[in-house]
Structure 1
Amino acid sequence: MRTMHTMYQSGTDTDDRNWEAVSRVVFPVSDQDLVLPLYAIEWTRPHLTDDVFNPRLDMEKMPFDSMNSKAVRHLLNESIEDHASTAANDVFTVDSRHAMTVLAGRNVSLCTFFNAFPASYWKRWTGISAVRFSAKVRGIGEIALYKSSGRGLFSALDTINVDTTHDEAMLDADGFASIETVLPMNGLIDGGYFWFDAKAGNDAALNIEDAQWSVPCGEKTAVPSDTGSTSTASTTLSIAITTFNRAKYCLRQLRTIAHEPALVERLDTIYCTDQGTDLVRDQPGFEQVANELGSRLTYLRQTNMGGSAGFSRGMYETLKAGTSSYTLLLDDDAISEPEAILRALQFADYTKRPTIVGGGMLHLDNRTVLYTQGERFVPASVWMKPSQGLDYNHDFARFPLRDSPERHRRIDSDFNGWWMCLIPTAIMKEIGLSMPFFIKFDDTEYALRAAEHGYHTVCLPGVAVWHQAWHDKDPSRTWEEYFFQRNRWICGLLHCPKPSRRFAFEMLYGDVNVGIKLVYSALRLRHMGLRDILRGPQYILDSMPGKMAQVQQARKGFADTTLITDVDEVPAPAREFAMPFTPTTSKAIKKSGLKAIARALVSRGDGTKDAQPDVAIPSDQAIWRSFVGVNSALVTSPDGNTVAWCRRDSALFRQQVREGLRISQTLLKNWERLSQEYRESDICSIDAWGKVFKEQTITD
């Protein structure tokens, strides 16, 4: 079989053996109606706004106050995206995991989250000199190769005309011809992707199989023999999954991995650390999956010590075994795209130096929405924000990658969530394992620690898992608030040796925020967290196995923690909740917020003896404004399963705010000493964790 069309750079090696496929074009074989826009879309006319061409427009304020209704309607009509309305199955069909058919007369774009090649990331973090696109095609049509810039502007690289109805000598036994083209890595410093669009002839379909992006093997930086890998050709990875009573989800994750041959080939071991009572091994189907994985599955049981201990166990076991180049941390309840795991692994093989490679988080309940593609740590507030000012929760179904120019700029990160994160063993050997945080801030802290040792974190496009979105959670109304508060400020101590003036404000703001919402249990947990920080790093490690029980005990006795499953058990609210708020300016919102704080601090309101709630507040409106002037309220939990009759206790609120100020002043006064103490401790060392695992492992 000969190649139908080839364009080579001068001097480029054309031997297939010298190229490695690092990003295979894939398609979903299930849930297509939910996820297909992440893989392939109907081609439409590109729609780019004026500011892409003229960045000066970003400086100009929109004169809304001088616009009449006609001008507003024109503005709204201009903003409507010209996206395809044709059903996907009338444009193309997914034939298999690696094959699609473009129907006669139709046009498809692969400039999508999972199938555009993130060329600028390979340009920035690796030393590769070129990328090869190759595919097998059958039928009539054309394949057009494109490149974007960091501004989101497109340029054509090559067009390959396809007609396999003639010259059978070019075809394989199934009637397919091979096409390929090599693309130089030019113009990609600020950002940019490679992708292809496919157009079928007017009277014939176009079949595409095994499309992939490859890089020169000789430019790989990872050497298996340096890591002790048993493979003579490739690096390998172990996967660390930790689970607590999510047995069905965890089994699904194991089954997904087991059924992906290309991934299994690069897999040493899955370390499945079960910290629950509803055990994964007791699930129907576990034995079959275990048999399929064989020696590639190591099932461990230990006391529930949270995600940081579960992931650290997988990291620890990987280092102890000494055969893997990487450990992939993977959430038990996430849905994986297996190709994404391979992409993270192979990208790490080519980076200039060991690099943490993470992926984005797609919403499990809205599958085309990307929560984030990169976040920054803000030292002044010890908090995070999306990189480059991009919004959270981008919907690729409404705003495809090809029509989102801001998404074509390379997005650099300070850390990546541990819903999916690949960590080289070389980094673990040097900086240790996770901090013993139980949950929260372990991923942020680890990446910041790695950065202080010169190791970057890259959140690679085309790499992601589907995970439960945060809008169904409110840590301030659960035991998680303790770990949020404690771990946030330990992270600050570790990576901000001198305190910022804003730290005191952040601590006070957090107290006031939960207090105004009548969540007094959260005040107790927040202060408990600060007191525990003052006890020093060794206490944090030593207390971890039993801390969860202590936190849950500390929450008892508060109205906001007394959960009611049947609303008929309490009197009906005096009035129905209504949104009395009208849109206003940011300045006015801040002013009203300050008034609400002042009012709460001087209030004599008391709802502790109310015989009837003032109002029932739905979970999505449980923000400070909804509680102004309310003495007691039925508040729905974020999961919608229970309500709590929250009652105002003004005296308790003032007492707790004063206590919070006292503790935070003590912490800030001793900040520099504590910072040095935490930074010099070895509570995240391999040896320290080894002692914990020896004591907390469950054998039966």
Structure 2
Amino acid sequence: MTSDPTVPRSVSVTVVVPTFRRERDAADQAERFAGMTMVARVLVVDQGSTLATYEPFIELRRREAKIELIDQPNLGGSGGYARGMLESLTSPEHAVYLSDDDAQISEESLALMLAHQGQADRPTIVGTAMYAADDPELQISGPEAVRGADFMWGPAGDASPNYTGWWGTLLPPGTVAELGLPAPYFLKWDDAEYGLRATRAGYDTVVPPGANVWHPTWNAFATQMSWTARILHRNRLATAAACGAGRGVIRSSLLHQGKHILAGHHLTATLWAAGIDQFLAGPGTWLGRDLTHARADGQRVVEGWNEDHLEVATDLAVTHAGPLPAARAAVRALANLVGPARPPRIVCELPADEVTWRTTLGADAVIVTGPDGSRAGTLIADGPTARRLLATTLRQHWALARRWRQLCRSYHRALPKVTTRAAWERMIAAAEEAERPAKDD
């Protein structure tokens, strides 16, 4: 099958762009899409309540009738996309393009995606590769797949993609009506779960050459050491359980937690532990219930950790400008695990984009620097904290192993109930009602 962007297309596109307090990015993105001939509607879902009074956006809407502003409480990425997908149902003949507010795509790429979709023999979701905005030749992500063995995402390789990132995804007309709306995860794994759902329903997923977006880069350190880590791991487990995954996901989780603990990524391990506890509590305790406070819940974990540990991280002197040799790192990591608390003696310094469990293993502390050389964070490895976290993770993963089949049944039953149009309308209405008294004051 060939994809020729010059093939005439009768299908128009509704674009969905969630945003949260990024007025300039949102306005620029809306203007770019409004200028594309195949785009009929640009639905900007503002979850920060700032665009309605942002003068450049006000002026843009005066000029561009295609742009529609939707204001709602912050329900995360899944809530923003869900609201846009709900609104798209009033134009069922349109394809639906899901986009970040800072992921730039050319009109040619979008035309190519439409052509590829139109020539497919089966319903086909078309995704995009991602390139770095500050280094346009650097590819960050290509075709991806969720591996069934351990439920981790990664390059598809020789396998077929089974999801596409919602930094740039084109759904064929009728998809939202047939498949429903995203899982109410707040953020992370909503796009992967939707892709897996589509695959089970008989949809194909492709990322054709030439379908690209350019996106600002990020580093794993910022994700794993912030409130998002709790949600990321919880949602991975929930998706795996709903899809009936085997216990390989439990082994993978335990292995990665062990790496976090040994390598001094103790805040990450704490956030993961909080996510596992919430997953173990069952879908009825959080799924579709915590969208308005999911971010605050995770932030409280981070703040509690910082209150207990930031004092130790002050006035550290760097002793090693880089990671320890592997053999020495392994020996020192084990010594730290069984030893008493003591002031850091080996202090490494690493750029944030070089922080992995391998590069921090064995250090008593790691000073993490940002692109400008300023301190972006500090990792502290101390024996008592590591032993406490290890005991917690062994207990949690034993519970996961014992209860896995029951948890799979619970999440498999629960997920379809919270991805319907009616369920999302209730969640959005409840969030708006809860926010109304504050607005009235």
- Taking structure 1 as the reference length, the TM-score comes to 0.57
Equivalent residue number for residue 147 of structure 2: 378
Find the residue that maps to 1:485 and give its secondary structure. helix
Equivalent residue number for residue 263 of structure 1: 38
Pair 685,599 (structure 1): closer, same or farther in 2 beyond 3 Å: farther
Pair 524,626 (structure 1): closer, same or farther in 2 beyond 3 Å: same
Q: Distance in 1 between matches of 2:129 and 2:378?
A: 37
Q: Deviations along 1:107-166, whole A, 9 cap, x unmatched?
A: xxxxxxxxxxxxx455xxxxxxxx7xxxxxxxxxxxxxxxxxxxxxxxxxxxxxxxxxxx
Question: How far does residue 602 in structure 1 lie from its aligned partner after superposition?
Answer: 2.3
Q: Are 1:558 and 2:305 counterparts?
A: yes
Pair 632,455 (structure 1): closer, same or farther in 2 beyond 3 Å: same
Q: Distance in 2 between matches of 1:649 and 1:630?
A: 10
Larger Rg: 1
Give the letter aligned to residue 656 of structure 1: L
Equivalent residue number for residue 81 of structure 2: 311
Q: Deviations along 1:178-237, whole A, 9 cap, x unmatched?
A: xxxxxxxxxxxxxxxxxxxxxxxxxxxxxxxxxx7437x8xxxxxxxxxxxxxxxx2222
Equivalent residue number for residue 454 of structure 1: 202
Q: Distance in 2 between matches of 1:656 and 1:329?
A: 39
8 Å CA contact retained: 1:253, 1:336: no
Gap regions ≥5 residues in structure 2:
none
- Of 309, 323, 338, the residue aligned with 1:602 is 338
Q: Distance in 1 between matches of 2:127 and 2:308?
A: 36
Equivalent residue number for residue 352 of structure 1: 121
Equivalent residue number for residue 273 of structure 1: 45
Equivalent residue number for residue 424 of structure 2: 689
Equivalent residue number for residue 571 of structure 1: 315
Give the letter aligned to residue 423 of structure 1: L
Question: How far does residue 420 in structure 1 lie from its aligned partner after superposition?
Answer: 0.5
8 Å CA contact retained: 2:17, 2:81: yes
Equivalent residue number for residue 352 of structure 2: 619
More deviation, 505-514/552-561: 552-561
Q: Deviations along 1:632-658, whole A, 9 cap, x unmatched?
A: 332235786543343332112111111
Q: Distance in 1 between matches of 2:117 and 2:318?
A: 60
Question: How far does residue 239 in structure 1 lie from its aligned partner after superposition?
Answer: 1.0
Question: How far does residue 479 in structure 1 lie from its aligned partner after superposition?
Answer: 0.9
8 Å CA contact retained: 1:248, 1:280: no
Pair 541,213 (structure 1): closer, same or farther in 2 beyond 3 Å: same
More deviation, 664-673/554-563: 554-563
Equivalent residue number for residue 526 of structure 1: 272
Q: Distance in 1 between matches of 2:308 and 2:64?
A: 43
Please give the residue correspondences for 1:244-643 in structure 2 after superposition, counting only pairs within 5 Å. 244-260=20-36, 262-264=37-39, 267=40, 269-276=41-48, 279-294=50-65, 296-319=66-89, 321-388=90-157, 412-471=160-219, 474-495=222-243, 497-500=244-247, 502-538=248-284, 539-559=286-306, 570-571=314-315, 573-578=317-322, 581=325, 598-607=334-343, 614-636=347-369, 642-643=375-376
More deviation, 516-525/358-367: 516-525
Q: Distance in 1 between matches of 2:208 and 2:328?
A: 41
Q: Distance in 1 between matches of 2:238 and 2:329?
A: 28
Equivalent residue number for residue 407 of structure 2: 674
Q: Distance in 1 between matches of 2:392 and 2:373?
A: 32
Please give the residue correspondences for 1:225-244 in structure 2 after superposition, counting only pairs within 5 Å. 234-244=10-20
Q: Distance in 2 between matches of 1:367 and 1:282?
A: 33
Matched positions, count: 431
Q: Distance in 1 between matches of 2:308 and 2:195?
A: 34
Give the letter aligned to residue 205 of structure 2: T
Q: Distance in 1 between matches of 2:428 and 2:277?
A: 26
Q: Distance in 2 between matches of 1:371 and 1:428?
A: 28
Q: Deviations along 1:71-112, whole A, 9 cap, x unmatched?
A: xxxxxxxxxxxxxxxxxxxxxxxxxxxxxxxxxxxxxxxxxx
Q: Distance in 2 between matches of 1:355 and 1:383?
A: 23
| Two-structure CA RMSD over aligned residues (Å) | 2.9
Give the letter aligned to residue 11 of structure 2: T
Give the number of the structure whose residues are more often helix, by fraction. 2
Give the letter aligned to residue 357 of structure 1: V
Question: How far does residue 673 in structure 1 lie from its aligned partner after superposition?
Answer: 1.7
Q: Deviations along 1:29-48, whole A, 9 cap, x unmatched?
A: xxxxxxxxxxxxxxxxxxxx
Find the residue that maps to 1:557 and give its secondary structure. helix
8 Å CA contact retained: 2:2, 2:116: no
- Taking structure 2 as the reference length, the TM-score comes to 0.88
Pair 694,515 (structure 1): closer, same or farther in 2 beyond 3 Å: same
8 Å CA contact retained: 2:323, 2:348: no
Q: Distance in 1 between matches of 2:221 and 2:2?
A: 33
Q: Percent identity?
A: 24
Give the letter aligned to residue 24 of structure 2: K
Pair 517,340 (structure 1): closer, same or farther in 2 beyond 3 Å: same
Q: Distance in 2 between matches of 1:306 and 1:517?
A: 31
Find the residue that maps to 2:289 and give its secondary structure. helix
Q: Distance in 2 between matches of 1:593 and 1:435?
A: 41
Q: Distance in 2 between matches of 1:382 and 1:472?
A: 18
Q: Distance in 2 between matches of 1:553 and 1:572?
A: 26
Please give the residue correspondences for 1:150-165 in structure 2 after superposition, counting only pairs within 5 Å. none
Q: Distance in 2 between matches of 1:580 and 1:663?
A: 31
8 Å CA contact retained: 2:76, 2:186: yes
Question: How far does residue 452 in structure 1 lie from its aligned partner after superposition?
Answer: 0.6
Question: How far does residue 259 in structure 1 lie from its aligned partner after superposition?
Answer: 2.5
Which structure has more RCO (C-alpha within 8 Å, separation ≥ 6)? 2
Q: Distance in 2 between matches of 1:544 and 1:684?
A: 14
Give the number of the structure whose residues are more often strand, by fraction. 1
Gap regions ≥5 residues in structure 1:
1-119, 123-130, 132-211, 218-233, 390-410, 582-588
